[in-house]
């Protein structure tokens, strides 16, 4: 017995290199499969949205594209709001082919331009009979210091102030489509990065000490405050709001990062790929907040991984919440229209 144990111990110690290699690859593969798997909410599509209209910004790629496809497959009228009409048309055709739902439409909007947002909101108000679900998904990350057409720092403008203006311009449409038993829903796509900065009122454009990480974090935190303020202001009108962090997904969100253009990125690409979910596996919380009747009144909350989650302590401050709303009204000139 003792002899056998010794033998086994010595064999283990002299394990051939190829065996160690195969074990390592197997372990990495197994872990990555686990990481990539996500409980897909409502896989059998029990919750249909026939008769409802949903608008998704940034529908031309990544999380926006997959969300649009899933909602089209549930029978809704899906409005794809994109910056690039050519990309939008390709995605529209693909979604119609794959879902057999012909009610998928392209609209043009550039969230870095208040003028474009006004034009887009007018188009929606003129052409669409109703609007039940608005998903503020479009976003940028890692952009070098720059400003939008209206002079807003780019992350702040595209990720937060643009959606702020758009949502307010579409509010009457959302209100008109809402019923007490079926509230209209506004879903703001935020990120774990919201924990990494604050709302820097002294210099919202971060001109003094710019960092794209801070700028992205600030814009994503602003979306959480926006979600809370929407709940306070509009739950009486049967409108519910949700701030959702999707699973970390393999999309084009890192396109502006210098590391993505370097040689080391291409070498590390397979490893990075293993760590990320495909976009279609990252959207289940967004879909839940869009369609699940059981969450229709859980307004103003922060969501992650299929449930209400704890946002950063920084994201709980009623003074910041109302000050941000008022500042955003002024910056976007909301009251002048």
User: Active-site residue among 212, 216, 242, 302?
Assistant: 216
**CA separation for the pair 303, 315 (Å, rounded):** 13
Alpha helices in 178-278 (DSSP H): 212-234, 263-275
Residue 99, interface with ligand NAP (CB under 6 A)?
Answer: no
Binding footprint of ligand NAP, residue count (CB under 6 A):
30
Query: What's the DSSP call for residue 230?
Result: H
Chain residues 65-84 in contact with ligand NAP, contact rule CB under 6 A = 82-84
Residue 62, interface with ligand NAP (CB under 6 A)?
Answer: yes
The answer to whether 216 is a known catalytic residue is yes
Integer Rg of the chain from CA: 23
Q: How many Å from the N-terminal Cα to the C-terminal Cα in the chain?
A: 87
Find the binder of ligand NAP among 41, 53, 54, 60 (CB under 6 A). Answer: 60
Residue 58, interface with ligand NAP (CB under 6 A)?
Answer: yes
Find the binder of ligand NAP among 38, 110, 229, 301 (CB under 6 A). Answer: 110
Residue 228, interface with ligand NAP (CB under 6 A)?
Answer: no
DSSP 3-state of 240: strand
* Joined tokens for residue 294: 């059981």
Long-range own/partner contacts, residues 119-124 (CB < 8 A, 24 or more apart): 120/81, 120/166, 121/166, 121/169, 121/170, 124/55, 124/79, 124/170, 124/173
CB of 211 to ligand NAP, least distance (A): 16
Residue 61, interface with ligand NAP (CB under 6 A)?
Answer: yes
CB of 137 to ligand NAP, least distance (A): 5
Phi-psi region of 232 (alpha: psi -120 to 50; beta: other; left: phi over 0): alpha
Among the listed ranges 45-53, 56-64, 261-269, 315-323, the one in contact with ligand NAP (CB under 6 A) is 56-64
Residue 114, interface with ligand NAP (CB under 6 A)?
Answer: no
Handedness of CA 143, 148, 152, 155 (dihedral sign): negative
Residue 251, interface with ligand NAP (CB under 6 A)?
Answer: yes
Chain residues that interact with ligand NAP, rule: CB under 6 A: 57-58, 60-64, 82-84, 87, 109-112, 137-141, 158, 189, 191, 245-246, 248-249, 251-253
Provide the annotated active-site residues: 216
């Amino acid at each position: 017995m003792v002899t056998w144990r010794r033998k086994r111990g010595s064999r283990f110690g002299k394990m051939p290199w190829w065996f160690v290699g195969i074990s390592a690859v197997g372990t990495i593969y197994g872990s990555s499969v686990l990481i990539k798997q996500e409980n897909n909410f409502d896989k059998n599509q029990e919750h249909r949205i026939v008769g409802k209209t949903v608008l998704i910004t940034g529908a031309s790629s990544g999380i926006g594209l997959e969300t649009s496809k899933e909602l089209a497959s549930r029978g809704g009228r899906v409005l794809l709001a994109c910056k690039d009409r050519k990309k939008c048309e390709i995605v529209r055709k693909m979604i119609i082919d794959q879902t057999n739902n012909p009610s998928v439409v392209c609209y043009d909007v550039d969230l870095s331009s208040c003028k474009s947002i006004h034009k887009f909101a007018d188009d929606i108000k003129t052409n669409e009979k109703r609007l039940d679900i608005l998903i503020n998904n479009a976003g940028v990350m890692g952009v070098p210091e720059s400003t939008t057409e209206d002079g807003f720092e780019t992350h702040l403008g595209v990720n937060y102030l643009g959606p702020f203006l758009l949502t307010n311009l579409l509010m009457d449409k959302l209100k008109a489509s809402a019923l007490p038993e079926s509230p209209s829903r506004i879903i703001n796509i935020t990120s774990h990065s919201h924990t990494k900065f604050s709302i820097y009122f002294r210099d919202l454009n971060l001109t003094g000490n710019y960092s794209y990480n801070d700028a992205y974090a600030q814009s994503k935190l602003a979306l959480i405050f926006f979600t809370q303020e929407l709940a306070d202001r509009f739950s009486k009108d049967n409108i519910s709001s949700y701030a959702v962090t999707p699973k970390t997904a393999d999309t084009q969100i890192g396109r502006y990062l210098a590391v993505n253009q370097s040689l080391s990125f291409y070498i590390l690409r397979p490893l990075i790929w293993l760590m990320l979910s495909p976009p279609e596996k990252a959207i289940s919380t967004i879909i839940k907040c869009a369609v699940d009747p059981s969450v229709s009144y859980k307004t103003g909350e922060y969501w992650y991984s299929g449930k209400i989650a704890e946002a950063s302590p920084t994201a709980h401050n009623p003074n910041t919440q109302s000050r941000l709303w008022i500042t955003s009204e002024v910056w976007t000139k909301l009251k002048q229209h």
